[in-house]
Amino acid sequence: MSHELRAKIWWVWFNLGLVRLSVCGLFRCFDKISEKCYHISMIKRKCLVCGKVLFVKPYHAKKGWGKYCSKKCQSKTQIKGIWVKCDYCGKQIWRTPKDFRRSQSKKFFCSVACHCSWENENRRCGENAPNWVAGHNVYRRLLIRAGITEKCRRCGISDKRILAVHHKDGNKRNNHIGNLEWLCYNCHYIVHLNKRNGGCSSAVQSV
């Protein structure tokens, strides 16, 4: 290849490079101009969550859109709820408005174990138990658990085979310890007989 041919080729490539550079420059200028025009027509705002600057279309602004810079910031505002304490162990737990609407007792627990423990201590014992039958047929156990000596309060006999539990006020549903006492069958019959005949009071003196 001769020197003149090489020079011509180099000159052609040089001119093509200038054209390419000029075209690229025009596109860059056009992009900058369009970006400025775009920003001029947009409304400048700040993200309500992170404070980042963003541009919103006037049409979207009229609709109430364009408040957040990203989906991440928008999702943060949709998290509604408060921290409450577990009603049994005191642990902090998150509860939403839906949880408050669905709860009838307005009590919240961090786990099933805490829920069951609270139920056993407050709703499934004594008179609150679902199978509670006013304590019928458990008079003896109530007095034994209370540590009251098994002997007749009237005659003092301590034979367990003939001891019965007497309700002082005559109400068999009133099973408080202060209303129960040990009486033998004989004294128990005499007390109720005096009540029916309108005789002396059923109050029994301690032996």
Given a contact cutoff of 8 angstroms between Cβ atoms, the answer to whether 166 and 184 are in contact is no
Q: What proportion of the chain, given as a percentage, has pLDDT over 70?
A: 70
Closest CA to 154 of 109, 131, 195, 188: 188
pLDDT at 93: 93
Sequence spans of domains, the chain: 41-79, 82-128, 139-196
User: pLDDT tens digits, residue range 80-134?
Assistant: 889 999 999 999 999 999 899 998 888 999 999 999 898 888 877 766 666 665 5
Identity of the amino acid at 38? Y
pTM of the predicted protein model: 0.38
Query: Six-digit token pair at 158?
Result: 């301590």
- What whole-number distance in Å separates Cα of residue 110 and Cα of residue 123? 18
Find tokens 């949880």 and name the residue: 99
Given a contact cutoff of 8 angstroms between Cβ atoms, the answer to whether 144 and 138 are in contact is no
Residue 7 has pLDDT above 60, yes or no: yes
**Burial status of residue 163 (CB atoms within 10 A of its CB: 0-12, 13-18, 19 or more):** buried
